[in-house]
Chain A
Amino acid sequence: MSEVSARRTQVTLSIGMLLAALALWIDYPLATAVKIAFILIVPGGAIMQLSGLALSLFEFYALSLIMSLATSALLATAAVYLGFWSPSLIFYVLLGMTALLLIIDLWREGDRLDDDER
C-alpha cells in the first residue's frame, strides 16, 4: 500500500471503531450495519495495518476480512468453551484490542514522522 492509502486506511479503521463503539450505547440508524462492518473489517484491518506487510489494497482488505472473522471466531469459541458466553463482552474485547492496535500504529507513525523531521 502507498503511504497515502495507509493513512486513509488508518483513518477509516479509526472512524469504523468509534462508530462501532457508539453503536453499543446509542441505537442510531444503521447501528447494526456498523457493528457488522466493524466485525468484518476493523480488527483484522488494525492487525494488517500494524504488520507492515507489502500488500496491494485488494489484498489488504481481503486479508483484513479473513483476519477479523478469524479473530472473532477465536474469541467466540473461547467464550463457548470457557463458559462465559457473552456477545457484548466479546465485542468489548474486540473493540479494546482494535483501539490498542490503532493507538500503537499512531504512536509508531508519530515516531516515524519525528525521525523524518530530524
Chain B
Amino acid sequence: MLSRLGVAIGESMQDHRRKHWRLAAILITVFVLWSFALVQADVARMSDFGLLSILPLPFYLSLLLLTISFSINVTKRRSGDGFLAVHVAALIVLLFTPPMLLYETVRLPWAWKHIGIVDYILRHGTIDTAIDVEAAYHNWPGFFALIAFVAELTGIERLSAIAKWSPLIGHLALLGILLLVFRCLIEDRRTIWIAIWVYYLANWIGQDYFSPQAFVFPIYLSVIGVVLAFLKASPPPHPKIGQGSLAGHWHLFIQTAVETEPGRRNAASAGWLVLILLVLQIAQTISHQLTPVAMTFSLLALYIFRRMQPLWPFIVAFVLFGLWINWPAGGFMALELSHLQQLAGDVLGNTSANIHDLSGLSDGQRLVAIISRLLTGTVLLLALAGGVMRLFRGRFDVSAALLVLAPFSVLLLHSYDGEGLFRTFMFASPFLAFFVACLLAGVTRHLSRHWGRAVLSTVLFLLAFCWLTAYYGNDNHTRALPGEIQAFRFLAERAPENSLLIEGSPDYPSRFLNYENFTYVSIVNEPQDSLDLVLDDPVDELGLWLDNRRYAATYIILTESQRKGIEALGLLPKGVFNGIKQALLQSDRFDVLFQNEAATIFTLGADSGG
C-alpha cells in the first residue's frame, strides 16, 4: 500500500516537473521568436498602418504559440493559477513592451506634456491652479505630485524612464486586481482566466500611457474589487409581499441575482476596510476629473441593485468629488461651468464628439479605424451573446452588467473633449471581457476538447490581431521622435517667459520643460477663416502672427510628427504642410533658429521688423 502511494507521488511529481519544463520550453520559444522579430523591425520603415507594418512574421508566430499554449492550459482541469498567470504576464510583455524597446523615447506626445507638469512641480515645489495652460492638471495634481516625489527621490534624470516603462507596471498590477474582481463575479476558474486574457485584447483605447488616467483606472477597479469582495449584500429574505406584484418580482429577481454570484469574503476588520477605500477614493479624486464620476455612478448602481450592502462607499465617493470640485478645483470649475452647462444632457453630442468621418483619413488610417470599430463591435456582440447565454442558464450577472452600463452615465454630463465614449468603453471593458469569457468558456465546454481549444485559440488570436492594429495603428504619427524632443528642449531652455509658440498641430512631443513660459497656438486648430489666410500666404500671415509686441519672443515650430498626423487624419491636404515649411525656409522674413531631420524652429528675422 505504502509503496503504491510512493509510486503515485513519484509519478505525480514527475508529471509536475514535466509540465514546468514544457511551459519553460514554450516560453523560451515564444520569446526567442519575439526577440528575433523585434531585432528585425525597422522603425524608420513604418507606414500609415502603424507598428504592425514593421513587425515581421516571427512576432505573430510567437503570439500564436502563446495563445495556443494558454488555450490548452486554461481548458485543462489541473493547470494552476500560477501557470496561467505566467501566460498572462508573458502576453503583457509581448504586447506592451515593443515600443519601449523599439522607440528611442517615450511613445506618445501627451506623455511628454504630462512630464511637463511634473517638471513644473519639481522647479516650483507647488502648483498654480489659476494657470492659463493645462490648468486641469494643476487642479487634479495627485498623479503629478506622486511622480515628482518619486523622480526627485530617485534622480530626476530617470523621469523619462519612469514614463517609458510605467505602462508595463500598470498592466502587471492590473492582473492581480482583475483576478480579484472576476473572482467576485464567478467561481469558474476557466472563465476567470479567459476574462483576464480577453480584457487585455478588448481594451484598445490606449489610456495606459504615462497619464493620470492610467494611474486611477487600477484604483477604480481596486475599489470595485474590494466592494464586491467584502461589502457584497447577502441574499434578502423571501418577500412577504404578494408574489405576483411588481415589488414581489423585484425581490425575487434581486434574490436570484445575489445567490448566483460568489458570496462575500471575510473582512477581519471593518475599520481597515473603511481606511483602504478612503485612501483609494481620495487618491482617485485628487488625480482625475472623470474617474470619480464613473465611480460614483457605478457604486450607486451597485447599491440600488443590492450588489453592495452599505451605502457609505457611494457617499464617500460623492462627497469627496463634490468637495474637490467646489474647493481646491473650485476656481477651475467656475470657469468651466458655462461649457459644462452646454454639454450636460446632450448625450448624442457627447457620444459622437470623437467619432471621425473616415472619408478624410489616409488609406492606412482608414483601415486602422475600421479594424478598431470592428474590434469594439465584436467585443460588444460577443459580450451580449455571453450575457444572453448566462441568462438562459439561469445566471443573472447583475454586478457585471451594472458595471458595463453605469460608466456610460458619464456621457450625460460631458464629452470629455470628445473622448468620453472611449473612456467609458475603457471602464466597461473588464466587464465586457467577463461576458465574452462566459461565452467562450461555455462554448469550449460544449465542444470536444480539441475543437474547443481550436475555437478558443482562433478567437483569441483574431482579437489579438485586431487589438495590435487598433492600439498601435496611429504610431507612425503619434510616436515621438528624438529630433523633436531635441528641438523643443533647445527652445525651452532659451525662450524667455511670455513667449508665443506657433505649432503646426499640438500632437508632437512638447511642453515637457518650462512649459508655462509659452502661449501655444496650433495652426490646424485655428478657425477656418484664419486657417485659410495662412494657406493663402503663409509667409505674410505667419509673419503677422509672429510680429506681436505682446510677447517677449515669438517662434514657429514645424515637426515631422505634426506633418504625419495632419496628413494621416486629413486635417490639411497632402503636401500643404511641407508647402508652408518650404515657403518659410525660402522667405527672408524668417530666420531658422534650429533645424534637424525632425523639426525646424523659425523666428522673425532681425530686419523684418520683429
A62/B175 contact (C-beta < 8 A), A53-B265, A73-B143, A81-B328 known: yes
Most buried by B among A35, A40, A60, A81: A81
Does the CB pair A77–B141 fall under 8 Å? Answer: yes
Interface presence of A54 (CB below 8 A) = yes
Q: In whole angstroms, what is the CA distance A47 to B287 when docked? A: 21
Q: Which of B94-102, B148-156, B235-243, B577-585 contacts A (4 or more CB under 8 A)?
A: B148-156
Interface presence of B121 (CB below 8 A) = yes
A59/B180 contact (C-beta < 8 A), A53-B273, A69-B215, A70-B283 known: yes
Interface presence of A15 (CB below 8 A) = no
Does the CB pair B155–A72 fall under 8 Å? Answer: no
Select B176's contact among A63, A72, A76, A91, beta carbons within 8 Å: A63
Scan residues 98-143 of chain B and give those whose CB is less than 8 A from a CB of chain A.
121, 125-127, 141-143
Q: In whole angstroms, what is the CA distance A72 to B151 when docked? A: 13
Contacts of B153 on A, CB cut-off 8 Å?
Answer: 35, 39, 87-88, 91
Does the CB pair A54–B266 fall under 8 Å? Answer: yes
Scan residues 13-67 of chain A and give those whose CB is less than 8 A from a CB of chain B.
32, 35-36, 39-40, 47-48, 50-56, 58-63, 65-67
A53/B272 contact (C-beta < 8 A), A62-B177, A63-B177, A76-B149 known: yes
Contacts of B219 on A, CB cut-off 8 Å?
Answer: 66, 70
Does the CB pair A67–B265 fall under 8 Å? Answer: no
Nearest B residue to A94 by beta-carbon distance? B149
Q: In whole angstroms, what is the CA distance A36 to B166 when docked? A: 12
User: When A and B form their complex, what is the total count of cross-chain residue pairs whose Cβ atoms lie within 8 Å?
Assistant: 148
Interface presence of B267 (CB below 8 A) = yes
Does the CB pair A58–B142 fall under 8 Å? Answer: no
Contacts of B183 on A, CB cut-off 8 Å?
Answer: 56, 59
Nearest B residue to A85 by beta-carbon distance? B125
Does the CB pair A56–B279 fall under 8 Å? Answer: no
A66/B150 contact (C-beta < 8 A), A58-B85, A80-B127 known: no
Does the CB pair B283–A74 fall under 8 Å? Answer: yes
A58/B179 contact (C-beta < 8 A), A51-B268, A73-B283 known: yes
Interface presence of B228 (CB below 8 A) = no
Most buried by B among A65, A72, A77: A77
Does the CB pair A80–B121 fall under 8 Å? Answer: yes
Closest beta carbon of chain B to A84's beta carbon, Å: 9
Closest beta carbon of chain A to B276's beta carbon, Å: 6
Select B152's contact among A63, A65, A77, A87, beta carbons within 8 Å: A87
Q: In whole angstroms, what is the CA distance A115 to B155 when docked? A: 48
Q: In whole angstroms, what is the CA distance A83 to B183 when docked? A: 43
Select B222's contact among A52, A66, A77, beta carbons within 8 Å: A66
Closest beta carbon of chain A to B324's beta carbon, Å: 11
Q: In whole angstroms, what is the CA distance A47 to B276 when docked? A: 8
Contacts of B226 on A, CB cut-off 8 Å?
Answer: 53, 63
Interface presence of A90 (CB below 8 A) = yes
Q: In whole angstroms, what is the CA distance A9 to B179 when docked? A: 20
Contacts of B177 on A, CB cut-off 8 Å?
Answer: 59, 62-63, 66
Nearest B residue to A70 by beta-carbon distance? B283
Closest beta carbon of chain A to B325's beta carbon, Å: 15
Does the CB pair A85–B272 fall under 8 Å? Answer: no
Q: In whole angstroms, what is the CA distance A76 to B153 when docked? A: 12
Does the CB pair A73–B146 fall under 8 Å? Answer: yes
Closest beta carbon of chain B to A3's beta carbon, Å: 14
The 0/1 profile, CB within 8 Å of A marked 1, for residues 268-297 of chain B is 110011011001101110110000000000
A77/B268 contact (C-beta < 8 A), A51-B273, A53-B273, A58-B175 known: no
Does the CB pair B145–A51 fall under 8 Å? Answer: no
Closest beta carbon of chain B to A117's beta carbon, Å: 21
Does the CB pair A62–B272 fall under 8 Å? Answer: no
Does the CB pair A80–B141 fall under 8 Å? Answer: yes
Contacts of A70 on B, CB cut-off 8 Å?
Answer: 219, 279-280, 282-284
Scan residues 155-214 of chain B and give those whose CB is less than 8 A from a CB of chain A.
155, 158, 169, 173-177, 179-180, 183
Q: In whole angstroms, what is the CA distance A63 to B601 when docked? A: 47
Q: In whole angstroms, what is the CA distance A29 to B154 when docked? A: 13
Q: In whole angstroms, what is the CA distance A75 to B265 when docked? A: 30
Does the CB pair A53–B149 fall under 8 Å? Answer: no
Contacts of A99 on B, CB cut-off 8 Å?
Answer: none
Nearest A residue to B223 by beta-carbon distance? A66
Most buried by A among B158, B222, B273: B222
Nearest A residue to B149 by beta-carbon distance? A76
A52/B268 contact (C-beta < 8 A), A59-B180, A62-B173, A83-B126 known: yes
Most buried by A among B85, B176, B287: B176
Does the CB pair B149–A66 fall under 8 Å? Answer: no
Select A72's contact among B149, B154, B169, B280, beta carbons within 8 Å: B149
Nearest B residue to A55 by beta-carbon distance? B180
Does the CB pair B280–A35 fall under 8 Å? Answer: no
Q: In whole angstroms, what is the CA distance A57 to B149 when docked? A: 28
Contacts of B280 on A, CB cut-off 8 Å?
Answer: 66-67, 70
Does the CB pair A62–B286 fall under 8 Å? Answer: no
The 0/1 profile, CB within 8 Å of A marked 1, for residues 284-322 of chain B is 101100000000000000000000000000000000000
Contacts of B225 on A, CB cut-off 8 Å?
Answer: 59, 63
14 additional A-B residue pairs with CB within 8 Å, beyond A58-B85, A73-B142, A76-B148: A51-B276, A53-B226, A53-B268, A53-B276, A58-B175, A63-B276, A66-B222, A70-B279, A73-B143, A80-B121, A81-B126, A83-B125, A87-B148, A87-B149
| A-B CB proximity, top 4 nearest | A62-B176, A52-B268, A85-B125, A70-B283
29 CB contacts below 8 A, A to B, read A39-B150, A39-B153, A47-B279, A48-B276, A50-B272, A53-B230, A54-B267, A56-B179, A58-B179, A59-B180, A62-B177, A62-B180, A63-B276, A65-B173, A66-B218, A69-B146, A70-B284, A72-B146, A73-B142, A73-B283, A73-B286, A73-B287, A74-B142, A74-B286, A75-B149, A77-B146, A79-B145, A80-B127, A85-B126
B residues adjacent to A (C-beta < 8 A) = 81, 85, 121, 125-127, 141-143, 145-146, 148-150, 152-155, 158, 169, 173-177, 179-180, 183, 215, 218-219, 222, 225-226, 229-230, 265-269, 272-273, 275-276, 279-280, 282-284, 286-287, 328
A residues adjacent to B (C-beta < 8 A) = 32, 35-36, 39-40, 47-48, 50-56, 58-63, 65-67, 69-77, 79-81, 83, 85, 87-88, 90-91
